[in-house]
């Protein structure tokens, strides 16, 4: 029995060694081409909470209070992510001329919209967050000490391109 195990194990190791190595496709600059980060419907809450945890870690390091996910801000972010895809350009205005403030109000958020970060990329949410932290204006939105709520969503095109939107909001006095 033991001899059969070792024989099967040895054959399996030899066969594994014969497998062709996977080659990485390189772009014209010699760097590996990006791999499509495919998001499944079942990943939605996992990705939103992974982003929330990462944002709150960055906020803690900057002595800013933590934020919570807000369904209304998530809805405003999702609407804009889809609209950017339709427009095929990352910018803060909707195809109907709406501003981030307009979209947050339409979603029913009772607080104050403090800022919006957007991105058009094939990168993951955490790679996108790192890019936002490297840009002064986006970093200020993420670390705004007045923020109490965060909305985060995306839309992924059939090509794999992802349109990310993050919205920060804060409660207004008396609300």
**In this predicted structure, what is the pLDDT of residue 119?**
94
pLDDT score, position 174: 43
State residue 12's pLDDT score. 47
Write 139-143 long-range contacts (CB < 8 A, 24+): 140/115, 141/114, 141/115, 141/116, 141/117, 141/166, 141/168, 142/55, 142/58, 142/59, 142/117, 142/166, 142/168, 143/58, 143/59, 143/62, 143/64
pLDDT the model gives residue 31: 73
- The yes or no reply on domain 43-170 and CATH 1.10.460.10 is no
Asked if 67 and 145 count as a contact pair (C-beta separation under 8 A), the reply is: no
Q: pLDDT digit of tens for each residue in the chain (175 aa)?
A: 545 545 544 544 444 455 445 566 777 787 776 666 665 677 767 989 999 999 999 999 999 999 999 999 999 999 999 999 988 878 888 878 899 999 999 999 999 999 999 999 878 889 999 999 999 999 999 999 999 999 999 999 888 899 999 999 998 754 4
Domain ranges in the chain are 43-170
Measure the CA dihedral 131/50/116/104, to 10°: 170
Q: Is residue 133 within 8 Å of residue 35, measured between CB atoms?
A: no
Phi-psi region of 12 (alpha: psi -120 to 50; beta: other; left: phi over 0): alpha
Tokens of 35: 């791999």
């Amino acid at each position: 029995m033991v001899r059969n195990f070792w024989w099967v194990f040895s054959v399996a190791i030899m066969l594994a060694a014969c497998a062709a190595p996977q080659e990485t496709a390189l772009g014209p600059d010699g760097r590996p081409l990006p791999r499509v980060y495919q998001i499944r419907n079942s990943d939605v809450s996992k990705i939103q909470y992974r982003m929330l945890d990462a944002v709150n870690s960055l906020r803690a390091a900057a002595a800013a209070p933590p934020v919570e996910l807000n369904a209304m801000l998530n809805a405003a972010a999702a609407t804009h992510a889809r609209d950017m895809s339709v427009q095929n350009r990352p910018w803060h205005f909707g195809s109907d001329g709406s501003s981030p403030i307009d979209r947050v109000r339409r979603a029913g958020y009772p607080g104050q919209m403090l800022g919006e970060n957007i991105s058009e990329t094939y990168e993951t949410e955490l790679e996108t967050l790192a890019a936002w932290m490297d840009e002064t204006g986006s970093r200020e939105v993420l670390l705004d000490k007045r923020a109490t709520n965060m909305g985060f969503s995306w839309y992924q095109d059939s090509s794999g391109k992802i349109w990310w939107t993050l919205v920060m909001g804060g409660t207004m006095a008396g609300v």
